[in-house]
Structure 1
Amino acid sequence: MKLATYKDGSRDGQLVVVSRDLATAHYATGIAARLQQALDDWGFAAPQLQDLYESLNGGKARHAFPFEPRRCMAPLPRAYQWADGSAYINHVELVRRARNAEVPESFYTDPLMYQGGSDDFLGPCDDVVVPKEDYGIDFEAEVAVITGDVPMQATPDQALDGIRLLLLANDVSLRNLIPPELAKGFGFFQSKPATAFSPVAVTPDELGDAWQGGRLHLTLQSTWNGRRVGMCEAGPEMTFHFGQLIAHICKTRNVRAGSIVGSGTVSNKGVEKDGRTDWPKGYSCIAEKRAIETIQDGKPSTGFMRFGDTIRIEMKGKDGQSIFGAIEQKIAQPG
């Protein structure tokens, strides 16, 4: 099934069930008013939400209405946890190669992860408000999952069973604030403002054979200022699958229902041709493009985002239909 949250003036919005083709929706108020409520009692709520979903797809839901992504908050407007991994080691390799730094061996066996702010997510069509352009504004196109309860010391396979929903993310980064923060030795903070999520979150069964072994084998599309810059394959080169990422969190703590775990920037390896490496599938963040330019040409030539720029992030199924709806945002000044 597919779920979204409509704006209603409150912090947590109203849960709606969305049809498979993203054309119609129906309030889920009689089952669960908010997505967190459904996640807290998933065994009770999910079958009822599934029944409503099937009625909606069959055209039998009496109070259906046209689905409007611009009315959406993030599917989970605020969460108990937002933990973002860096599951595509190619992204790490590129960034480090561009500054002549080696990748530590441990990065290939132990996932990188940071804990971001989860109290104020952005809806899929909300502006990305940044105080200054010179902070180095960047998008990051990612896949994410929302979990149920997963116990401490869960194995990767057990952790996979705890995945309730999948969605897309724009993990906005302020690149010029990152180096001084990391130099303090305590990780990201001001350099990671509010994250945006796709209009719709979907249950794994909706993805068919594209969902295999904790990886989503579909193409993630990134379009910057109307120009498609990334057609990256999300599945084959994901070094750590979502079960491994969740199990990484569970090493010393329980993961509770309503936790969101991100994949990190979706990234694909380059192709060697005539003594030169090219990246035909493009990029899912500007920092990676700049790393590629540095490797190829000795210096970056692409600037970061400016006020008025737009970003669209979307993933389509094998039938060409949008699965999660699109994140469509504009970079804006405060006020």
Structure 2
Amino acid sequence: MRFATIRTGDILTAARIEGDRAVLVDATDAVDAYRRRDRLRDIGETDAGTAHYARVSPTPAHILCVGLNYRSHIRELRLPTPEYPTFFAKFASTLTGPRDTITLPRVSDHIDGEAELAVVVGRRLRRAGPQEATEAIAGYTVANDLSMRDWQHRTTEALQGKVFDRSTPLGPLLVTPEEVDDARDLTITFSVDGVERQRGSTADLVFTPAQLLSYCSTFLTLEPGDVVLTGTPGRTPRAAGPLVPGQRLVTAIEGLGEAVNPTAADPLPDTRPAWTERNPDTAMT
């Protein structure tokens, strides 16, 4: 099945996507529709091609992201294959819709996109084995982990470069596992103004979605609607330059659709103080 969260004004409604039809149902969002999929009531219909798609999971309790999970990316960085998954967290405020304009923050000088397969949790999960974790997956969707590299690399902790407001498109569709063979071998791409910057396959993942959910559930109780971003593939030879306002970003995963996000200039000022003016005794070299 394929579900979506549709925005009409300030109201969110779930829809079941059937070809070019978005059948509105009596659920608040795609995750709610998945959880109540056997007792949904149809309440309307709109054109799936022109619908305003909101983020698939509007307010997840947890968003966990995995670094170094594609063999191609690991080779690109000339790093050893990790023994355990490397995680960092995001917040619900970082999410945005798969058709929304992304404002590029003026306070960053180097912004990159990272295409990612996102896994959405369908039921509470705690200390789960791989089979239980597999059964807890509501579905898969498209994500892009826009990263403010200059902030990310200020310290050894990546968080500050990964959690800018409304910087992570999520959607358009929540596709249940049986529709895409548990996402075992899906092509994933990211392009900017029609020029491909990333291409990979989920077959290249080091840790599978079920393994990641099982591992996470060991230290954290996962809740319905939680999202795990599974990592990003390596770059193509044509990838070049940071993102700038006025571009068109397309993040696509085979069988899951694509997020199409224009970029815009930040209306807020650059408020970064010079480090030496703020704290001259501890200025970094």
Q: State the TM-score bracket (shorter-chain normalisation).
A: 0.7 to 0.9
Give aligned-pair identity as a percent.
20
Q: Deviations 1:105-148 (Å, cap 9, x if unpaired)? A: xx522001111112351111111112227531111101011112
Q: Deviations 1:61-118 (Å, cap 9, x if unpaired)? A: 89433113551111112211111112214313423x3xxxx54xxx522001111112
**Structure 1 length-normalised TM:** 0.71
| Secondary structure at the counterpart of residue 133 of structure 2 | helix
Counterparts of 1:133 and 1:216 in 2: how far apart (Å)? 38
Q: CA RMSD in A?
A: 2.5
2:23 to 16, 23, 26: 26
Bigger proportion of residues as strand: 2
Matched with 1:320 is none
Query: Which amino acid is 1:324 matched to?
Result: L
Counterparts of 2:176 and 2:198 in 1: how far apart (Å)? 25
1:327 to 240, 259, 264: 259
Counterparts of 1:92 and 1:217 in 2: how far apart (Å)? 18
Matched with 1:255 is 222
Counterparts of 1:255 and 1:226 in 2: how far apart (Å)? 37
In 2, are the aligned partners of 1:181 and 1:188 still within 8 Å (CA)? no
Distance 1:325 1:67, change over 3 A: same
In 2, are the aligned partners of 1:14 and 1:27 still within 8 Å (CA)? yes
Query: Which amino acid is 2:13 matched to?
Result: Q
Matched with 1:115 is 89
| Secondary structure at the counterpart of residue 143 of structure 1 | strand
In 1, are the aligned partners of 2:199 and 2:233 still within 8 Å (CA)? no
2:73 is the counterpart of 1:91: yes
**Structure 2 length-normalised TM:** 0.83
1:314 to 249, 252, 258: 252
In 2, are the aligned partners of 1:69 and 1:124 still within 8 Å (CA)? no
Larger mean Cα displacement after TM superposition, 63-72 or 112-121: 63-72
Distance 1:221 1:190, change over 3 A: closer
Return 5+ residue gaps in structure 2 as ranges.
268-285
How many residues in Structure 1 have an aligned counterpart in Structure 2? Answer: 264
Counterparts of 1:142 and 1:177 in 2: how far apart (Å)? 20
Superposed, 1:1-335 pairs within 5 Å as: 1-10=1-10, 13-19=12-18, 21=19, 23-29=20-26, 32-38=27-33, 42=35, 45-49=36-40, 63-68=44-49, 71-86=52-67, 87-95=69-77, 97=78, 102-103=79-80, 108-132=82-106, 134-182=108-156, 186-193=157-164, 194-207=167-180, 210-211=181-182, 215-235=183-203, 237-267=204-234, 282=236, 289=239, 302-316=240-254, 323-335=255-267
In 1, are the aligned partners of 2:29 and 2:56 still within 8 Å (CA)? no
Q: Deviations 1:180-210 (Å, cap 9, x if unpaired)? A: 132xxx4412443231012111111112xx4
Runs of at least 4 residues off by over 6 Å: none
In 2, are the aligned partners of 1:116 and 1:189 still within 8 Å (CA)? no
Bigger proportion of residues as helix: 1
Return 5+ residue gaps in structure 1 as ranges.
53-60, 268-278, 290-301, 317-322
| Secondary structure at the counterpart of residue 219 of structure 2 | coil
